[in-house]
Structure 1
Amino acid sequence: MLFEDKYEIIRKIGSGSTSDVFLVRDRKLKKRWAAKIIGIYSGGGTDCRVKQDAAREIQILTQLDTPGAVKIIDVFEDSRRICILTDYIHGISLLAYIHKYGPVFEQTAAKWLLQLCGTLDYLHNMMPPVIFCDLKPENIMLKDDGKLTLIDFGAAYQQHSDVSPGIWKGTIGYAAPELCHGTAVPDIRADIYGLGVLGYFLISGLEPKQVEKLKDYSGHRIVSRKLDRILSGCLSENPGKRYKNCEHMAVRLRQFLRKADF
């Protein structure tokens, strides 16, 4: 059965360098899913790198069982494309949220980061560990119930797999320096770096290239010293000086939230 025989494309909802994402409807069940359609044919033949990346993404998705990440539903492949169907998440991306409503309060940012710490801790404790590698706000959906979900595992890797330094698919600004410079393969500390950048973005609305302005924006401090110390613990150039794992960061966030509630 062809993809179009089973699913009706409703509209395009996203795009990437090698893929487009569509909202689709199951013609028989009438359920809606998100379909990531990856082009694997380039010029004279199949793009082996793109096909290999898609296979890795599918392998990771099939192992996931957590409310903090999308669930894979179906896979279709032909000579020109691979189609990955996942849950369609009702909500808004964190990027769209900040653009629409502006920066959030520190307590809100801390609660969201704490949620993400839980999801990433689940990924990092899989065997082998899964490194998300692309914690940009476009890849994080805020659902109608207030929970966060990671939606795009196209850049994710399984630690200790056949990944060489310099081969990564993250986003400049959110990606850890060792990935951008090609000096190391991803490990859990790369995701911790991404959490720090994301935290500053949520509080300030500033893009990563403007991080140096976070201490003072229009003459007003936009992040408290207490939260700044937590976030800066993610952002050392040296991975060994960041939090050793997400639970370590989560402990600091819980302490911050307990004090903020008084």
Structure 2
Amino acid sequence: MTLEEQCRLSYYKKIADISAHKNVCLVQHVETNRIFVKKEQKVYSREVYEYLKTCGNPHIPKIFECVEDEGKLIIIEEYIQGESLADHLEETGVYSPEEVCRFAITICDVLEQLHQLPQPVIHRDLKPENIVIPENGSLKIIDFNTAKQHEQGKDSDTVIIGTRKYAAPEQFGYKQSDARTDIYAIGVMMNYLLTKRYPDEYLYVSEGHGKISLSGIISRCIEFSPDSRYQTVMDLRRDLQAVLARTAKTGRDKAEYRKNDLPKKKGMWKIPFFPPGFRTGTVWKMITGGTGYLVIFWMSFSLEVKMPDNNMATGFFLWANRLTVLIWCLLTVAFYGDYLGWQRFLPLMRRKYLRWAGYILWPMVFMFVLLLILVMVGG
């Protein structure tokens, strides 16, 4: 940090913490009395903030200072006074399809500018908490803390980062983030704004002509493979504009809004890591699930296996077969119950018209793999 930079930063006096553990606070300029946000980041891309400082996009907070000091980046940015989409969602319930289309189109407009740079800037953390509607009503995308520039030739991101549920599969290390990573997050966010649930829990339902429907757009955005998603935000925006125009013309907006905002019965808890049947605390599901698990364990551990010489198997071979049956049954239950949303990572399961084939084929695949392991272990 130069003496000049140190002098400029000294004009900003801390007045309140926003997030102490993230080193984010409110500061006030001692001469103008204006309020700003001050951030200190240890993992950062200075190039991203230097660009944001000059981009002049009305939907991105203005950056006033961007200073490196002893391995951290100090940022002074515009304070956006308003309510995030997440806060508004908690207060009023789900958004209408028309509102969600308008939000997503504006986000696409902003990302188009960022993604078309010589070194594209990828936000990597788009979610309702990071979309703010200020008092003047002009949507703002905030929190570029995890943003990075796409680098040609790199196979994966240096740092695995993002918000679970909104982070695309490639953000977990197997591939480098690019424009399609942000498109994945837009799809998840649209689904959540429309239903208050994530796609692996409930996928938004809508009507449409051909492939251009809001539910079809969301499904394409959240494809596991980046190559199967929209390749650019311009392509995504084009389909969103088509849906928005049709919605305004037909008045389907209110009907779809009601269909996806039906009252949902609540159980005693909602813990996604619990096994199928126990995740929501619904009594009848727990009774059914508990009975089913007891039957599975009883059937597996009472299994008898006849050898080729007509003698009954004993010892290791018997218990290896019993364990194989138990694992297959539990895997199949987890598969049909979509435990932790893992169906979306399996081929066939993300395609509406091929899902039936996946329901038939995947349990067979599980059994084949387990039998192969059994043969290898048993010699």
Give the TM-score, by structure 2 length: 0.58
Following TM superposition, the consecutive aligned residue runs of length 4 or more in structure 1 with deviations greater than 6 angstroms are none
Query: Is 2:161–2:171's contact at 8 Å kept on the other side of the alignment?
Result: no
Greater share of residues in helix:
2
Q: 1:162 to 1:89 in 2, by over 3 A?
A: farther
Alpha-carbon separation, structure 1, partners of 2:238 and 2:89 = 26
Name the aligned partner's letter for residue 236 of structure 1.
E
Paired residue type of 2:241: R
Cα distance in 2, alignment partners of residues 54 and 243 from structure 1 = 26
Match of 2:171 in 1: 179
1:74 and 2:65 are equivalent in the alignment: yes
Seen in structure 2, the aligned counterparts of structure 1 residues 64 and 14 have a Cα distance that, compared at 3 Å, is: farther
CA distance in 2: counterparts of 1:125 and 1:82, whole angstroms: 25
RMSD: 2.2
Please name the residue that 1:125 is paired with: 116
Q: How does 1:1-262 map to 2 (within 5 A)?
A: 1=6, 5-14=10-19, 19-38=22-41, 40=42, 50=43, 53-79=44-70, 82-160=73-151, 165-166=156-157, 167-180=159-172, 182-206=173-197, 208=198, 211-215=199-203, 223-225=205-207, 226-262=213-249
Amino acid at match of 2:14: I
Deviation at 1:149, TM superposition (A): 1.2
Q: Which has the higher contact order (CA 8 A, sep 6+)?
A: 1
Whole-angstrom CA distance in 2 between matches of 1:130 and 1:25: 29
| More displaced 10-residue stretch of structure 1: 135-144 or 24-33 | 135-144
Cα distance in 2 for partners of 1:72, 1:193 equals 27
Change (3 A) 1:204 1:116: same
- In structure 2, the CA distance between the partners of 1:15 and 1:185, relative to structure 1 (3 Å rule), is farther
Check the 8 A contact 1:60/1:130 in 2, yes or no: no
Give the secondary structure class of the aligned counterpart of 1:35.
strand
Query: 1:191 & 1:204 partners in 2: Cα distance?
Result: 20
Percent identity over the alignment?
A: 29
Residues 80 and 147 (structure 1), Cα distance of their counterparts in 2 relative to 1, 3 Å cut: same
Task: State the AA in 1 paired with 2:116.
Answer: N
Query: Which stretch of structure 1 is more off in the superposition, 60-69 or 239-248?
Result: 60-69
Alpha carbons 1:155, 1:168 under 8 Å: kept? no
- The answer to whether the 8 A contact 1:130-1:157 is kept is yes
Contact 2:23 2:39 in 1 (8 A): yes
The one-letter code of the counterpart of 1:134 is D
Whether the 8 Å CA contact 1:133–1:175 is kept in 2: the answer is yes
Checking the alignment, whether the CA contact within 8 Å between 1:132 and 1:157 is kept in structure 2 is yes
- Whether contact under 8 Å (1:65, 1:71) holds in the other structure is yes
Shift of 1:177: 0.8
Structure of larger gyration radius = 2
CA displacement at 1:196 relative to structure 2: 0.1
Letter in 2 for 1:128: Q
More strand as a share of residues: 1
Q: Could you tell me how far 1:190 is from its partner in structure 2?
A: 0.6
Distance 2:243 2:20 in 1: 37
Structure 1 residues 145-154 or 187-196, which shifts more?
145-154
Deviations 1:175-224 (A, max 9, x none): 111222x1111111111101000101111122x3xx23324xxxxxx531
User: Gaps spanning 5+ residues in structure 1: where?
Assistant: 41-49, 216-221
Unaligned runs of 5+ in 2: 1-5, 208-212, 250-379
Post-superposition shift, 1:113? Answer: 0.5
Deviation at 1:169, TM superposition (A): 2.0
